[in-house]
Structure 1
Amino acid sequence: MTPTSTSTTSPAPAFRADEALADRLQRVHVELIDLHLQGKQAHWNVVGRNFRDLHLQLDELVAVARGFSDDLAERMRALYVTPDGRPGTVAEQSSLPPFPAGEVDTAETVDLITGRIYGVCSTIREVHDDVDEADPTTADQFHGFLERFEQLAWMVSAENRVADRTDPRPIHE
């Protein structure tokens, strides 16, 4: 039996990313990978008061960031963009500051990780409008990322907050 011939052309996709959209998606992708790696570094090396609670919160953050990076990479592939999550690329392209080596106290870890979560949120918000204009479907995915990360940042940062005295202060209606 001889194999059937295969076509050298495929049906055209309904939508395909351009280079500008691909660059914006790559920016978010590397930051998601970096956040999950930094969250794991923090998880392994956090020590101090409320250790166990923070240790578990960090695992939750890692799982969310890892899942979102995979979701975005698969979205990128659906748009014919090749995601680059190699370690060197992540180190070169991420805007997140590196996490310190060695043991880090829980209070400091809370502030460092909260800052990194907000850093990812800032990047998503920075590229959002352009992504939304080019591809509203991917922008919808970003909405879910923001909703979950801002919730996690609030939950993690609450470890160091003092009611009605720590900035940002809540709005009372």
Structure 2
Amino acid sequence: MTPIHSPLADDAHKVVTEALRDALVDLIDLSLAGKQAHWNVTGPRFRTVHFQLDEVVDTARKHADIVAERSVTVGSPADGRAETVARDSQLPRLDAGWVRDDDVVATFVGLYDGIIARMRQRAHDVEDADPVSNNILLDAVEELEKQYWMWQAERA
């Protein structure tokens, strides 16, 4: 027996659940990538990049929480377990160890490029099925695109 009943029709629920599940995995993995790079960045721009990575983590965690809460609100348990993220994430893996500041910047430009494209597609996919989830995903895209711009400016 499901304790939370979805306010969405079955077909809409399926589309929304998949989009939110995949968005949650991407956002959790983005926060983990941000922390991994934050701890190991080196180079002349260490301090700037180090603090910029804090913003990555804060934004990703904030939106992951909003996405997870929307998922349970529409009747689908959120799954942010490490094994789920490791198995399902579409983000490229970061190498272990020290990483130069220039490499961090290039890596995060690439990470944001991919995650934004996937988040925009998810927002599009749920637009008719659930405008509320669409709005949540678009809010995340807005902040991710701002950070993407900042990473690109860092590289310019």
TM-score past 0.5 threshold: yes
Q: Pairwise mapping of residues 126-137 of structure 1 onto structure 2 (< 5 A)?
A: 126-137=121-132
Residue aligned with 1:134, SS? coil
Say whether 1:67 aligns with 2:62: yes
CA distance in 2, matches of 1:46, 1:135: 40
Deviation above 4 Å: which 4+ runs of structure 1?
A: 10-13
Quote the residue 1:116 is aligned against. 111
Higher relative contact order (CA 8 A, sep 6+): 2
Residue aligned with 2:127, SS? helix
How far is 1:14 from its partner? 3.8
Q: Pairwise mapping of residues 21-36 of structure 1 onto structure 2 (< 5 A)?
A: 21-36=16-31
Q: Deviations over 1:71-106 (max 9, x none)?
A: 100011110111111111101111111011100100
Say whether 1:146 aligns with 2:141: yes
How far is 1:157 from its partner? 2.0
Name the TM-score, length of structure 1 as normaliser: 0.82
C-alpha contact (below 8 Å) 2:38/2:50 kept by paired residues: yes
Identity %: 38
From the two aligned structures, give the one with the greater helix fraction.
2
User: Residue 90 of structure 2: which of 70, 84, 95 is its match?
Assistant: 95
Say whether 1:15 aligns with 2:8: yes
How far is 1:12 from its partner? 6.2
Q: 1:12 to 1:20 in 2, by over 3 A?
A: closer
Residue aligned with 1:159, SS? helix
Name the TM-score, length of structure 2 as normaliser: 0.91
Q: 1:11 to 1:21 in 2, by over 3 A?
A: closer
Q: 1:97 to 1:13 in 2, by over 3 A?
A: closer
Aligned residues between the structures = 153
Q: 1:50 to 1:20 in 2, by over 3 A?
A: same
CA RMSD of aligned residues (A): 1.9
Between Structure 1 and Structure 2, whose CA radius of gyration is higher?
1
